[in-house]
């Protein structure tokens, strides 16, 4: 092989090696994974704890218009903020604490401890009131598209608005 042919061969080999390196580097950079595909990283768990805490802070303030924004889009497609406020204004929350959060894929379970009361109110021609009471319970949150949303669930009917 002549000197010129040898130089061309070396250049071609170096270009091939450089191409392989560039391709392997571009494939090895981590693509940003959608959180929907994330089964439960610490980031997703923290997001849920923060959202649930913000929701309950709004409920304690009595800001039902703000709390409505935290509910799943399935509820918000069926019920207006005004209708929601009308149906949920009887219960007064005095304190609320998110005590535990678990994430399994795109479903989260939040354990909450609340202190609430129901001032005298008339429901179906009956007066009802509940003194300040403390209770704790689990509630379900759904990761939809970009964030956590509280599932609207009616225990009385054992049904929610979201079907999955």
CATH of the domain at 110: 3.10.450.50
What is the C-alpha separation between 106 and 147, in angstroms, rounded? 10
Quick one: pLDDT at residue 3? 61
User: Where does residue 121 fall: left (phi above 0), alpha (psi -120 to 50 degrees), or beta otherwise?
Assistant: beta
Is residue 10 a part of any domain in this protein? no
Is residue 8 a part of any domain in this protein? no
Run of H or E residues at 144: strand 126-144
Q: Which of 96, 95, 88 is nearest to 66 (CA)?
A: 88
What is the C-alpha separation between 80 and 64, in angstroms, rounded? 12
- pLDDT, tens only, 125-137: 888 899 999 999 9
Q: How far is CA 10 from the centre of its chain?
A: 56
Which domain covers residue 112, as residue numbers?
37-160
Q: Which of 56, 66, 51 is nearest to 146 (CA)?
A: 51
- pLDDT, tens only, 105-120: 999 999 999 999 999 8
Is residue 22 a part of any domain in this protein? no
What is the C-alpha separation between 88 and 71, in angstroms, rounded? 13
Is residue 14 a part of any domain in this protein? no
pTM for this one? Answer: 0.72
Number of domains in the chain: 1
Is residue 15 a part of any domain in this protein? no
Is residue 85 a part of any domain in this protein? yes
Is residue 9 a part of any domain in this protein? no
Quick one: pLDDT at residue 157? 39
Q: Examine the pLDDT at 69 and tell me if it is beyond 60.
A: yes
Q: How many angstroms separate the Cα of 3 from the Cα of each of 8, 9, 13, 15, 46? A: 9, 10, 15, 18, 64
Is residue 57 a part of any domain in this protein? yes
Q: How far is CA 57 from the centre of its chain?
A: 16
What is the C-alpha separation between 51 and 49, in angstroms, rounded? 6
Run of H or E residues at 11: helix 3-28
């Amino acid at each position: 092989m002549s000197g010129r042919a040898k130089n061309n061969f070396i250049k071609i080999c170096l270009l091939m090696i450089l191409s392989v390196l560039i391709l392997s580097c571009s494939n090895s950079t981590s693509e940003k994974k959608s959180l929907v595909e994330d089964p439960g990283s610490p980031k997703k768990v923290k997001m849920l704890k923060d959202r649930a805490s913000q929701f309950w802070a709004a409920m304690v303030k009595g800001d039902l218009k703000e709390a409505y924004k935290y509910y799943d889009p399935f509820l918000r497609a069926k019920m207006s903020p005004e209708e929601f406020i009308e149906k949920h204004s009887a219960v007064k929350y005095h304190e609320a604490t998110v005590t535990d959060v678990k994430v399994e894929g795109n479903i989260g379970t939040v354990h909450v401890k609340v202190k609430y009361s129901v001032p005298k109110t008339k429901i179906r021609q009956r007066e009802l009131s509940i003194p300040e009471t403390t209770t704790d319970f689990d509630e379900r949150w759904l990761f939809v598209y970009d964030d956590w949303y509280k599932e609207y669930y009616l225990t009385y009917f054992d049904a929610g608005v979201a079907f999955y």
